[in-house]
Amino acid sequence: MKVLCPLLLAPFFFAACTDSAPKNSGNPAPAIDSVVVHDPHTLSNTDSVKPQHLSLDLAVDFSKKSLSGTATWVIQNFGGAKEFVTDNAGLQIQNVWADGQPVAWYVGKEVPYLGTGLHIPITPTTREVRIQYSAAPDASALQWLAPAQTDLKAEPFLYTQGEAIHTRSWIPAPDGPGIRFPYDARITVPKGLMALMSATNPQATNDSGVYHFKMEEPIPAYLVALAVGKVEFQKVDARTGVYAEPSRLSRAAWELGEMPKMVEIAERLYGPYRWGRYDVIILPPGFPIGGMENPRLTFATPTILAGDRSLANLIAHELAHNWSGNLVTSATWDDIWMNEGFTVYIERRITEAMLGKSYVDMLWELGYQDLEKAVVDFGPTSRETWLKNDLAGKDPEDCLSDVPYEKGSLLLWLIEKNVGRDKWDAFLKSYFDKHAFGSITTEQFLRELHGQFSDKDSTLEKTLRISEWVYGPAIPANAPRADSARFTQVNRVRTAFLQTGTADSAATAKWTTYEWLHFLRKMPRPLSEAQLRALDNTFHFTKSGNSEIAALWFETAVYAKYKPAYGEMEKFLSRVGRQKFLTPLYTALKESGQGDLAKAYFRKYHNAYHPIAQERLGRLVGE
């Protein structure tokens, strides 16, 4: 992860974030025992109405960018509420019935970032609420791709991205990570296309265009997901497989060939995989993020298809979410480190088991560098660098950064080193078991942790000062640091290059992606054109098929105004919608006095980007 925010954002959004955040007031002790968990990002009333089941019956019409039909909720009005309130962002509501009778629903006032509540009158005995609606064509969860944005260029494509609070733009649902329900769906799509969900999935296209889905386990709304397109399936083993456009299917299946092993390792460490199948869909390159852990079906960017399996740790990450995140979920977005930090930790444990310690040490070190940069950019005392967030009144994605990922995983690594790997693994296994299909706050986790590992004389708190990690800024002094033997050798090659102007390709022959990333990251900026030319002639970076290396190279090239890379960079910008790459590239253009070129590229290619990315990158380049 290169910039502040790995996923979605441009650094300047953090300014807004920082301004409105309360200042760190000396690590106040939190209320450890709060019983009622308040989620500031839902307008629903699940404190008195439990959503027990959702049935979707939706039709997809590409010509109108229309997703419409009905959502039927089975509810239990255990609090005797007078209404059932779902979240809603721009849905056009046509009719609502409660137990078959039309009711006088209304949509409440718009709340910044959250949308509106859909208020549905109910009685204490109401069991079923049916909502007939359509999603707005520009719903924030939906990306409608024209055929030209796919590989085959023959059929359109649609996918959803629910996290953090976008599901409400395509389903009227109580939308918070602490609110779970099982669902089923009937989805009608144009004949010839396949529909897939975070549920039981078809493995072949059918003739009717009607697909049925079931997710029997209760999941939060942000994990309800849909993809529709011309895709095919290829199995990897009996319970894992890959969906992709036919042109990249066999490449994808090879690249993800280690999935069965990853699932086995995760199960050995953290208990059974509880979701049945584990499949991955490789989406078209416009997908705005790297991966999304939709249960049973991870959504992934094709930019992980490097040809050497070196970027498959992203799949280890999304797979790991099936324990941390999907099975045991952060209760609110303020606790997101419990999803992402745990997941990075587990991802690295899987990677270590597969590729060894010196390999995963490189990932820890690059992650540490990302975290250091986030702390510098936010400021060393900034509230955004606590693990526990304070996002009430804000867009939960606007403050998303490397902090929950890297600081969160470092804390777990620190605990592991302190209590010992065996005990720590046993703790996590039973934690996932105990809280399976439930949600958890930071405070509940800390309480269990102390209960398990603290004794009267020497508490974990005293030795590790965990509350400084969670309720304090920056990187605590006791943060563990990976062994950097492999990067020391990289540093030597870089220094030699900077001194002599020539690069030693024998010394780099066995390098993996991560050595290359460290090599390029730590180059001074700008390098001279001659230096860029020498690097390119020796290592052919401009033509690299590895998206991580290529993106970093283009950034380096932009600062040096090394024009021979611009053609390939433009192709990259025209195809790839992943913000982790786009944000640094557009930022580099702007910062290096090439703002007009940034604008020109953006104008030309913005249609290929996700609506949210369009908006954010548009603001970045000043469009």
Calculate the CA 105 to chain-centre distance: 34
| Amino acid making up residue 377 | D
The interface with ligand BES within residues 488-507 (CB under 6 A) comprises: none
Q: How far is the CB of 496 from ligand BES (least distance, A)?
A: 32
By CB under 6 A, residue 6 contacts ligand BES: yes
Binding partner of 119, given ligand BES, Zn ion, none, CB within 5-8 angstroms per partner class: none
Q: Is 37 in the site for ligand BES (CB under 6 A)?
A: no
SS3 404: helix
Cβ distance to ligand BES smaller for residue 51 or 341: 341
Q: Which residue do the tokens 């870089």 mark?
A: 494
Size of the site for ligand BES (CB under 6 A): 17
- Can you read off the two tokens belonging to residue 245? 């456009």
What are the backbone angles phi and psi of residue 85, rounded to the nearest 5°?
A: -110, 125
SS3 215: strand
505: buried, middle or exposed (CB in 10 Å: 19+, 13-18, 0-12)?
exposed
Chain residue at closest Cβ approach to ligand BES: 290
Q: Check: CB of residue 225 under 8 Å from CB of residue 299.
A: yes
Residues 6+ apart with CB under 8 A from 106: 119
Among Zn ion, ligand BES, none, partner that 163 touches (CB below 5 to 8 angstroms by kind): ligand BES
Q: Contacts with ligand BES in 399-438 (CB under 6 A)? A: 400
Please list every residue from 139 through 168 that binds ligand BES, using CB under 6 A: 163-164
Q: Which residues, 6 or more positions from 287, have their beta carbon under 8 angstroms from its beta carbon? A: 143, 159, 299, 300, 301, 302, 577, 578, 610
Closest separation between CB of residue 486 and ligand BES, Å? 20
Transcribe 290-322 into DSSP letters.
Answer: SEE--TTEEEE-GGG--SSSTTTHHHHHHHHTT
Q: Does 349 bind ligand BES (CB under 6 A)?
A: no
Tell me how far apart the alpha carbons of residues 229 and 515 are, in angstroms, rounded to a whole number.
36
Which listed residue (293, 361, 406, 548) binds ligand BES by CB under 6 A? 293
Under 8 Å between Cβ of 198 and 296: yes
Candidates 397, 406, 536, 548; binder of ligand BES (CB under 6 A) is 397
Q: How far apart are CA 397 and CA 413, in angstroms?
A: 25
* Span near ligand BES by CB under 6 A; candidates 263-271, 291-299, 363-371, 544-552: 291-299
Least distance from C-beta 545 to Zn ion, angstroms? 25
Q: How far is the CB of 386 from ligand BES (least distance, A)?
A: 17
Q: Which residues contact 25 (CB under 8 A, 6 or more apart)?
A: none
Does 5 help bind ligand BES (rule: CB under 6 A)?
Answer: no
Q: By the 8 A CB rule, do 192 and 230 touch?
A: yes
Binding partner of 290, given ligand BES, Zn ion, none, CB within 5-8 angstroms per partner class:
ligand BES
Spell out the residues 6+ positions from residue 120 whose beta carbon is closer than 8 angstroms to its own: 83, 84, 85, 86, 96, 98, 103, 105, 129, 131
| Min separation Cβ 290 and ligand BES, Å | 3
Report if residue 580 touches ligand BES, rule: CB under 6 A. yes
- In the complex with ligand BES, which residue's Cβ is closer, 289 or 449? 289
**Residue of 405, 431, 586, 609 marked catalytic:** 405
Stretch that binds ligand BES, among 78-86, 94-102, 286-294, 467-475 (CB under 6 A): 286-294
Q: Please check whether residue 149 is in contact with residue 157, taking contact to mean a CB–CB distance below 8 angstroms.
A: yes
Q: By CB under 6 A, what part of segment 90-129 binds ligand BES?
A: none
298 or 531, CB closer to ligand BES?
298
289 binds, among Zn ion, ligand BES, none (CB under 5 to 8 A by kind): ligand BES
Residues 310-339 touching ligand BES, rule: CB under 6 A, are 314, 317-318, 321
d(CA 222, CA 112): 19
405 catalytic residue (yes or no): yes
Residue 149 near which of ligand BES, Zn ion, none (CB within 5-8 Å, type-dependent)? none
- Please report how close the Cβ of residue 293 comes to ligand BES at its closest, in angstroms: 5
CB of 551 to ligand BES, least distance (A): 12
Stretch that binds ligand BES, among 66-74, 188-196, 283-291, 605-613 (CB under 6 A): 283-291
Residue of 217, 245, 318, 548 marked active site? 318
**Buried b / exposed e across 55-82, counting CB within 10 Å, b at 16+?**
bbbbbbebeebbbbbbbbbbbebeeebe
Shortest Å distance, C-beta 162 to ligand BES = 8
Report the nearest approach of Zn ion to the CB of residue 299 (Å): 12
Site for ligand BES contains 290 (CB under 6 A):
yes
212 membership: H or E segment, kind and range = strand 210-220
- Under a CB-based contact definition with an 8 Å cutoff, are residues 442 and 411 in contact? no
Burial of 234 (0-12, 13-18, 19+ CB in 10 A): middle
Report the interface residues with Zn ion, using CB under 5 A: 340, 343
Q: CB of residue 576 vs ligand BES: minimum separation in angstroms?
A: 13
Half-sphere exposure of 190 (CA within 13 A, CB side): 15
Stretch that binds ligand BES, among 265-273, 289-297, 466-474, 494-502 (CB under 6 A): 289-297
For residue 621, the number of C-alpha atoms closer than 13 Å in the C-beta half-sphere is 26
- Of 189 and 304, the one with the shorter C-beta distance to ligand BES is 304
394 part of the interface to ligand BES, by CB under 6 A: no
Phi, psi of 230 (to 5 degrees): -90, 90
Catalytic (active-site) positions? 318, 405
Question: Which residues of the chain form contacts with ligand BES (CB under 6 A)?
Answer: 6-7, 163-164, 289-293, 314, 317-318, 321, 340, 397, 400, 580
